[in-house]
Structure 1
Amino acid sequence: MASTSSVPAPAPAPGEKPEKFGGSGFKRWQQKMLFYLTTLNLARFLTKDAPTMGEEETDKEKRMAFDAWSQSDFLCRNYILNGLDNTLYNVYCSVKTAKELWSSSEKKYKTEDAGTKKFVVGKFLEFKMVDTKTVISQVQEIQLILHDIIAEGMVVSESFQVAAIIEKLPPLWKDFKNYLKHKRKEMGLEDLIVRLRIEEDNRKSEVKSDKLPMEAKAKLVEPNASKKRKHRK
């Protein structure tokens, strides 16, 4: 009877190598790097300490375990280093273990990410629409700020975005703002932008129609005035 030999499970294929980290977007880069190291079966070295091994240690099993850890930790550490741009590589290349490298970069850049969150939130809160610029262009500015807030991992619902844009409408839009605030049916963001665009176009048309009679009068007055001058001659 033929003996059956167990076939080892194939190792997982490495994930996509993350882009170089240059100092911004740490959280996203860290998640990609963690997944990449996991597919390489090295992620455990991000939290694993070196096995204790004295200089005069003679235990063969301990020595083998230490050598295996050192080799894997060396790979993990260098995968992380190669995921940094040249400037940051030079900063962190002297760090000795993967765990130390991972924790020190996390401590530095997670703090900076928190500062970035406060900055973009402050930028949103301080943003005020003015009457000297078109409302639609200012809405686009607000949307860019909101995009940055969402990119930082903060949840901003669509209903909040709609309410915030309405609240930030400029002084000359006070009546229209009150009209929108008292609407019972909830609006989506696209619906709000369409309404604002229509209202802005209507206001531009009204301004043009107010100017037309004055211009028409001027054109009528000029020929009459020239006739009078000719008659006097």
Structure 2
Amino acid sequence: MLFYLTTLNLVWFLHEDPPATTEGNFDSKVACDAWSHGDFLCRNYVLNALDNTLYNLYYSIETAKSLWESLEKKYKIQSAGLKKFIVGQFLNFKMVDSKSMTSQVQDLQLILHDLDAKGMKLNESFKVAMVIEKLPPSWKVFKNYLKHKKKEMGLEDLILRLRIEEDN
């Protein structure tokens, strides 16, 4: 929507207040009328993009700016909920013996990528330690070997080692 409004040169109505009017000043009245027309267009382009059920909730909002702020407030709450969901996936992820290690590591990499994408970046050493801790019980010996290794290992190196170990 922001891209679309930018191409129409209407995006600034989402952030600007109407110009102040001065009584009896013709230029001020023309500027206010032009702003009202642009705000009307911007507001209705946004409303047109909404689902019908959302349209009925938001059509009564007077300006494009207040409409956008209202929608943004709702969206940011959902974004916070999405972050909590991803963290929950990360914390509850368990590796099992019944699935291939490669597919489980790929699933874990997707979760880690989602965390990074949502701005919750984790230290590389933490990621490596977390993957080691999540190894299934049958990997206990290899898990202990990795924990006692003195040289630090990157996530990609660990994944490569897990694939080699799985093949063995």
* 3-state SS in 2 of match to 1:194: helix
Q: How does 1:84-163 map to 2 (within 5 A)?
A: 84-85=50-51, 87-163=53-129
Residue of structure 2 equivalent to 1:47: 15
Cα distance in 1, alignment partners of residues 151 and 49 from structure 2 = 50
Select the residue among 62, 67, 92 that pairs with 2:33.
67
After superposition, the C-alpha distances for 1:36-61 in whole angstroms (9 at most, x for unaligned) are 5456543332222224559xx54423
Instruction: Count matched residues.
Output: 168
What fraction of aligned residue pairs are identical, expressed as a percent? 67
Name the amino acid aligned to 1:182: H
The alpha-carbon deviation at position 157 of structure 1 amounts to 4.4
Show structure 1 runs of 5+ residues with no match.
1-17, 19-32, 203-233
Alpha-carbon distance in structure 2 between the residues aligned to 1:153 and 1:36: 26
Show the counterpart of 1:196.
Answer: 162
Aligned-pair Cα RMSD in Å: 2.7
**Deviation readout 1:125-167 (Å, 9 max, x if unpaired):** 1212233333222222212222322332322344433222112
Equivalent residue, structure 2, for 1:213: none
SS at match of 1:128: coil
Considering only CA atoms, is the larger Rg found in Structure 1 or Structure 2?
1
Could you say if the C-alpha distance between residues 83 and 147 of structure 1 is closer, same or farther in structure 2, counting changes exceeding 3 Å?
farther
TM-score when scaled to structure 2?
0.81
- Where 1:153 maps in the other structure, the secondary structure is coil
Question: How many angstroms apart in 1 are the aligned matches of 2:95 and 2:35?
Answer: 59
- State which drifts further: 141-150 or 75-84: 75-84
